[in-house]
């Protein structure tokens, strides 16, 4: 029964890979530039480039995925046969809107101190997601939410205290999470397009 429900979900939800891929690109761009300290200069042109990537990849692509899931849960009975999708819709939509703000702030070169308070709320969503998908026995997505929680645990002191150590820790977990998201994108795409049964 679990395998059947999983097949129904992935047959009905091709945008899942869009959300995974968008967030992964955001983490590679933001995490990579901080962790590798390249490009080093924090000038207006770099802020504009990073901000646009943040708005359009993790922001817009996750928002599309989350909106699609909530519309599916509202309109189509088949979606409601897998209520765990509610958590996926909440996460994609929330993280998408949050990346609109992160990307815009980066574009404008705004102060990031208040991001520490934002990270508290997103730490809670990450914990809730890990609990929901963990109890639902969906290990790959549980791993994703645990990694997201680690990003926000580091983000709280990194943003509030502008700590280079915590900032680098956040960047490291962004890169690890981005790599895991690329695998989820790969698995979701092959499972849907070619009927594979990869770990997802």
Domain that holds residue 59: 16-194
Give tens-digit pLDDT for 110-163.
999 999 999 999 999 999 999 999 999 999 999 999 999 999 999 999 999 999
Q: What pLDDT, on the 0 to 100 scale, is given for residue 12?
A: 52
CATH number, domain containing residue 153: 1.25.40
Q: Is residue 153, in this structure, part of any structural domain at all?
A: yes
Q: Is residue 1, in this structure, part of any structural domain at all?
A: no
Q: What angle do CA 72, 147, 1 make, to 5 degrees?
A: 45
Q: Is residue 11, in this structure, part of any structural domain at all?
A: no
What is the Cα–Cα distance from 23 to 99, expressed in whole angstroms? 9
Q: Is residue 10, in this structure, part of any structural domain at all?
A: no
pTM for this predicted structure: 0.91
Q: Is residue 40, in this structure, part of any structural domain at all?
A: yes
Give tens-digit pLDDT for 3-15.
444 544 444 555 7
**Residue 1 confidence (pLDDT) above 70:** no
What is the arithmetic mean of pLDDT over 52-70?
A: 94
Q: Is residue 33, in this structure, part of any structural domain at all?
A: yes
Q: Is residue 6, in this structure, part of any structural domain at all?
A: no
Q: What is the total count of domains within the chain?
A: 1
């Amino acid at each position: 029964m679990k395998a059947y429900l999983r097949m129904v979900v992935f047959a009905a939800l091709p945008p899942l890979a869009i959300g995974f891929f968008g967030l992964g690109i955001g983490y590679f761009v933001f995490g990579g530039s901080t962790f590798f300290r390249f490009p080093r200069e924090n000038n207006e042109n770099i802020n504009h480039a990073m901000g646009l990537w943040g708005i359009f990849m993790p922001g817009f692509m996750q928002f599309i995925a989350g909106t699609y899931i909530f519309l599916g849960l509202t309109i189509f009975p088949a979606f409601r046969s897998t209520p765990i999708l509610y958590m996926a819709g909440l996460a994609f939509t929330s993280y998408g809107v949050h990346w609109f703000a992160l990307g815009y702030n980066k574009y404008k070169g705004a102060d990031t101190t208040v991001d520490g308070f934002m990270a508290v709320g997103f730490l809670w969503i990450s914990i809730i997601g890990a609990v929901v998908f963990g109890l639902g026995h969906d290990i790959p997505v549980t791993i994703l939410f645990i990694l997201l929680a680690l990003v926000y645990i580091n983000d709280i002191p990194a943003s509030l205290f502008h700590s280079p150590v915590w900032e680098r820790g956040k960047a490291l977990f962004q890169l690890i999470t981005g790599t895991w998201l690329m695998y989820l994108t790969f698995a979701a795409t092959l499972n849907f397009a070619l009927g594979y049964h990869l770990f997802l």
